[in-house]
Amino acid sequence: MKIVIASLLIFVSFSGIGQSDPKSEQILNTFSKEIKSLNSFYMEFSLHFLNKATGEDSKQKGNGFVQGDKFSAKLDDNEVISNGMKIWTIVHSEKVVYESDADDDDEESINPKKLLTIWETGFKSKYEKEDVINGKKVHVINLYPTNPAEVQYHTITLYVDVNGKELHKAIMKTKEGTTMTYTVTKMDKNIPVDKSKFVYDARKFPGYQLIRD
């Protein structure tokens, strides 16, 4: 079974923000330009998964490297590696590796770049207010899916710094009552990244079953 943690992380290519108010659109476009200008970056984030109806309450930590179309990321004991053409999703608890084409990247991948460009397609945005997180002023922006019947969530709330350079937090609420809170705890921009980060080496995973989609 793949890692169903990233219903939030579902967008890579920019196609514009439809039906959005001008203020939210300007802020998000500014941040998109910032991310696209980077040669590489490293980020650390936490995920809080909460469903009061079922009593499920869990916390995870993750990190990821991005360079162009290549990325590698970890969320607790699971990881994903992409060389820009293929994606390998490694589920250690099951000793299984799922291989797919990068063009087929879907909701179940841990792509750190997606976390920072989540508004770029399939959403309309609405500016809510200015707030303060950990002593820093942020813009609070709500995202609503343009085709709600096709997705499992109904609202994503973004907390973007007032300069439009950093995403501090993203909260996704699903139709079934789950709230997933992603908090970016560290962001290093334009850092050197060893190319081995984006190479899948089967020798490092002896005894793992490889499943090609």
Q: What is the mean pLDDT of residues 188-197?
A: 94
Cα separation, 1 vs 64, whole angstroms: 21
Cα separation, 57 vs 43, whole angstroms: 24
Report helix, strand or coil for 168: strand
Strand runs (DSSP E) across the chain, as ranges? 40-51, 56-67, 70-75, 78-82, 86-91, 96-101, 123-133, 136-145, 153-161, 167-174, 178-189, 209-212
What is the pTM assigned to this prediction? 0.80
Q: Where are the domains of the chain?
A: 22-212
**pLDDT per position as a tens digit, 106-154:** 444 445 555 556 666 678 889 999 999 888 899 999 988 888 887 777 8
Cα separation, 209 vs 23, whole angstroms: 49
Q: Which CATH superfamily is domain 22-212 in?
A: Lipoprotein localisation LolA/LolB/LppX (2.50.20.10)
- Sign of torsion over alpha carbons 114, 83, 100, 63: negative
Report helix, strand or coil for 37: coil
**pLDDT per position as a tens digit, 67-94:** 988 888 888 888 889 998 998 989 999 9
